[in-house]
Chain A
C-alpha cells in the first residue's frame, strides 16, 4: 500500500467524525502474466474496501488488466471535464515482451497509485464508472471495454493534435494575434504558459534521473569487472600483495552489488515519481485542450443563439408564418448555448480547484521522492564507505611491514 497516497488522501479529505467516516480504498496487487507471445498481458487483482452504500459490500476483489484501467481513465476524462484525471503509466508495447520483474512491479505500483488517486478525489470517487471498474465481473468489464473503445477511443495522436492546437493558440496569443474564439484572461494565460514550461523542465529532470539510474548500473558493472581483474592479478603476485588484491577484488564486487540495488531504488522511488509528474502535466494539457474546445463551443453557440434571436425578431416584425419554427429553433439553440456555457464554467471552476490540489499534491509527492532519494544515496555512500574501510587495517599493516 502506498503510504504516500494514504497521506495524500488524508490531506485531501475534509475532517469529519472518525467512526462513521466514509472510506473507499483500493489496492492493485498480485500481477500475473497471462497469455503467450504477442497476446501476452498482465492481470492484476484489484481489492476494494469500503463502507459506502453504493458498493456491494465491504470488500470486493476483481481481476483487471491494463486496458481496463485505460477504459476507466478515458471515461473519467470524458465525463469530468476540467478535472485533472490521474495519468496512467505508458502502454509500452516493447517492454511487454520483456516483462521483467522490476517492470511489472513498477507498473503495478503506478496502477495502484492511479486507482487510489481516483478513489480519493472528491468528484471522481463518486463516479459510476469507477464503481463499474471496481466491482463488475470480468465478462461485464470486457463488454464495457469493447463497447467504448470504438466511440471514445482517444488515440495518442488525437491528444497530440489537441496539444498542437492549444500550443499554437498559446503562441498566437503570445505573438499578439488575437483569435476571437480563445480565452485570453491573463491568469489563464499565465497558467497555460506555466504548464507548458513546467513540462519541459520536468522532462529534462526526468531524463537526467533516468541517466543517473544507468550510471549506478554502469558503475556497479565496472566495479564488478575491476574486482575480477584485480583478483586475477593477485593470483600472479606473491604474498602479501596477492592476498590484498584478492580482498580488494572481493570488496569491489560487494560494492558493485550495493550499487545495483540502489539503481533499482532510484528508478522506483525517484525517476518514476518524476515521470508521473510529467504525465500529470500532460494530463493537464489535455484538460486545457478540452477547456479550449468547450470555450469555443460556448462562444459559437452564444453567437448562433444571438443570430437566431435577431432572426426571430425580424420574423416577428414581419409577422411571418415561420415565426413558430424560428421560435422553437431559437429556444433550442438558447438551451444548447446555456448548456455549453454551464459546461465551460464548470470546467473553469473545476480547474481552479484542481490546480490548487495539484500543486499541493505534487509538493507532497515530490518531497517524499526527494527525501527517499537523499536517504538512499546516503545509505549507499555509507555502505560503500564501510565496505572499503574494512580493508584499511590490513592495508596499513601490510605497507608498514
Chain B
C-alpha cells in the first residue's frame, strides 16, 4: 500500500513518514513542529511493523511485540524489548519518554532541551489529519461532464482558543492547498513559510493513481502540520478558514502568473490604509486578475528596475545591510547544500542498515532449514549435534536481524530531521526572496520618484521662463506634483514594508536557527542513543550464541 512492502519502497518510507505514524503524530504546543522527532509508541510500532512484518521471512515466528492499542499521547518505554533485555541501558531515552504523558513533548526531546522559544505552554496542541481521498466530479454545464478530481478529508483537533471549535473536518482538493499557500505567501512576506507539496504533473502521469494519491495525502498532511507548527502562521485567518470552513474554500484563487507577480504592487494601497502585514489583510478580498493600467505599469517598471540593477545600473538604495544579508544568504545556501548532502548519505545509511537486517534474517532462515533437514535425515549423532549448533546460530541471526530492523526504523525517524530541514531551507529562501522583491519595489519607486522630480524640475524651469505662466504647462506641473506626492507616499509605504519584511526575516531566521540547532542536537542524540542501545542488544544475542558454542573455542585451548 505505502510501497513499504518491499525493500525499494523503504526509500519512500524514508521521505514520507508511514501513514500510521502521521496519524498519531502529536505536535507539541510550543510551536516547534518537530514532526520528525516523535517516537510515540504507536508510531514506532507501526513503522516497525510496516518494515519488519512485511519483510519478515519467518512469518510463523512471533514478530515484534506490539502493545495493545494505547493512547498515542502516552509514551511508555517506547521500545519493543524482548523480555531478556529489559535492563539494557536506555535510560536517557526512557526517562524522557516517561516524563511527558499529556501529549506535549516528543519522547525524543528531553524536557530541558527547550532551547526553542517558549512561546506557549506545553499543553497547547493542534493535530491535523489528512485522510480518505475520494474522487469527485466538477459540476459542469457541458454535455461532456466536468473533470474529476480528488478531495481529501482534513480533520483538525485543537485546543487553541483562536480556533473556536475543538474539532473540525472539511474536504479540500489540491487546488485549494495551492490557493492557501499563495495567500499565505502574500500575507506573510519575509516569513519562513513551509513550502507546499509540488504539483508534480509528470509524476501523476507516471505513477499508479493509487500510489500517487497516497503520496500526495502524506505530503499534504506533512505540509499542514508544518504550517500549524509555525508560531505565527498557525494563527492566520487563511489557515483557519482552510481548516474549518465547510464547502467551497472562501479564499481568493490565484488565477494567473501576472496577478501573483503583482503581489507587491497590489498590496500597496491596502498597506497605505491598513496595518501593513500579517494580521490585517482581509481575507475575503478578491484579487482581480490582470489589472490594466497602473499596476501592470508598475510590474514592468519593477522588471526594468531589476534588470538595471543586475546589469550594474543604479545602485541599490541601502548598501551596507545588504552585505550582511548577502553573507547570511551565502551561509544559508551553503548550509542547504550540506543538509542535502547529509540527507542523501542518511538515506544510504538507512538502506545499508535495512539490507544488513534482511540478509541476516535470510541467513538465519537458511540455517533453520538446514537444522530441520539434518534433524530429519540424521543417521549419526554428529548430525544432531550439528543441527543444534545451527539452530543456535539461526536463532541468534534471526534475533539480530530483528534488532537491525528496529534500529533502522528508529534511525529513519531521527535522521528524518535532515529531510525536514530541507523543506525549511526552501522556506528560508522564500523569505529571502520576499525581502529582495520588497527591496526591488523600493528601488523602483525611488528611481521613479527621482525621474518624476527631474521632469518636474525641468517643467518648472521651462514654465518660469514664460511670463504669466503657461496654462497647459502649469496644469502638467500640478498633475506631476500630484503624481509625485502619491509616489512619495507609495515609496514610504514600500520602505516601511521593506523594513517590516527585513524584521520578519531576521526574527524568523533567528527562530529557525535556534530551532534547527535544537532539532539537530536532538537528532544526534536520538541517533546515537539508538545506535548504542541496539548495538548492545545485538551484542548480547551473539554473546549468547558464542557461549552456546563455547566447546568449539579453539583460542583458549593450549595448543
Interface residues of A (CB under 8 A from B): 3-4, 6-7, 190, 194, 197-198, 201-202, 204-205, 207-209, 211-212, 214-216, 218-219, 221-223, 225-226, 228-230, 232-233, 235-238, 240-241, 244-245, 248, 356, 359-360, 362-364, 366-368, 370-371, 373-375, 377-378, 381-382, 384-385, 388-389, 391-392, 395-396, 398-400
Q: Which residues does chain A contribute within 8 Å of B385, judged by CB atoms? A: 363, 367
- Name the contact of B366 in the complex, choosing from A201, A225, A366, A399 (C-beta under 8 A): A201
Contact A370 B549 (CB under 8 A): yes
Contact B356 A215 (CB under 8 A): yes
Contact A370 B392 (CB under 8 A): yes
Instruction: Answer whether A381 and B349 are a contact pair too, CB < 8 Å, given A215-B356, A237-B520, A363-B382.
Output: no
Q: Does B447 contact A (CB under 8 A)?
A: no
Query: Nearest CB to that of A247 among chain B residues?
Result: B524
Contact B110 A205 (CB under 8 A): no
B72 to A: closest C-beta gap in Å: 24
Name the 8 nearest CB pairs between A and B, nearest first.
Answer: A381-B539, A385-B535, A378-B542, A367-B552, A374-B545, A374-B546, A371-B549, A377-B542
- Name the contact of B363 in the complex, choosing from A190, A209, A244, A389 (C-beta under 8 A): A209
Contact A225 B528 (CB under 8 A): no
Q: Which residues does chain A contribute within 8 Å of B390, judged by CB atoms? A: 366, 370
A381–B403 Cα distance when bound, in Å, is: 12
Q: Does B351 contact A (CB under 8 A)?
A: yes
A400–B95 Cα distance when bound, in Å, is: 14
Q: Does B122 contact A (CB under 8 A)?
A: no
Contact A229 B352 (CB under 8 A): no
How many chain B residues sit at the interface, stated as a range, is 35 or more
Q: Which of B390, B549, B551, B557 has the most CB of A within 10 A?
A: B549
Q: Is the interface of B mostly helix, strand, loop or mixed?
A: helix
Instruction: Answer whether A226 and B517 are a contact pair too, CB < 8 Å, given A4-B554, A384-B535, A388-B528.
Output: no
Contact A222 B348 (CB under 8 A): yes
Chain A to chain B contacts (Cβ below 8 Å), 26 pairs: A3-B559, A194-B377, A198-B373, A205-B366, A211-B359, A215-B356, A216-B356, A219-B352, A221-B352, A225-B345, A229-B346, A232-B342, A236-B334, A238-B517, A245-B524, A364-B552, A366-B386, A371-B550, A373-B393, A374-B396, A377-B400, A377-B539, A384-B535, A391-B528, A396-B92, A399-B525
Interface string of B491-524 (1 = CB under 8 A from A): 0000000000000000000000000011011101
Q: Is the interface of A mostly helix, strand, loop or mixed?
A: helix
Q: A362-B382, A378-B542 are known contacts; what are 9 more A-B pairs with Cβ within 8 Å? A: A229-B338, A236-B334, A237-B335, A248-B524, A374-B392, A388-B528, A391-B528, A395-B528, A399-B518
Query: Nearest CB to that of A357 among chain B residues?
Result: B382
- Name the contact of A245 in the complex, choosing from B346, B366, B382, B520 (C-beta under 8 A): B520
Q: Does B6 contact A (CB under 8 A)?
A: no
Contact A375 B113 (CB under 8 A): no
- Name the contact of B355 in the complex, choosing from A215, A360, A400 (C-beta under 8 A): A215
Q: Which residues does chain B contribute within 8 Å of A381, judged by CB atoms? A: 535-536, 538-539, 542
Q: Which residues does chain B contribute within 8 Å of A385, judged by CB atoms? A: 531-532, 535-536, 539
Restricting to B382-433, which residues have a CB under 8 Å from any CB of A? 382-383, 385-386, 389-390, 392-393, 396, 400
Contact B529 A359 (CB under 8 A): no
Q: Does B102 contact A (CB under 8 A)?
A: no
A367–B385 Cα distance when bound, in Å, is: 9
Q: Does B339 contact A (CB under 8 A)?
A: yes
B254 to A: closest C-beta gap in Å: 35
Q: Does B112 contact A (CB under 8 A)?
A: yes
A212–B334 Cα distance when bound, in Å, is: 37
Q: Which residues does chain A contribute within 8 Å of B518, judged by CB atoms? A: 399
Query: Nearest CB to that of B531 among chain A residues?
Result: A388
Q: Which residues does chain B contribute within 8 Å of A204, judged by CB atoms? A: 366, 369
- Name the contact of B382 in the complex, choosing from A360, A375, A391 (C-beta under 8 A): A360
Q: Which residues does chain B contribute within 8 Å of A202, judged by CB atoms? A: 370
Q: Which residues does chain A contribute within 8 Å of B370, judged by CB atoms? A: 201-202, 205
Query: Nearest CB to that of A195 among chain B residues?
Result: B377
Q: Does B553 contact A (CB under 8 A)?
A: yes
Contact A378 B355 (CB under 8 A): no
A370–B377 Cα distance when bound, in Å, is: 21
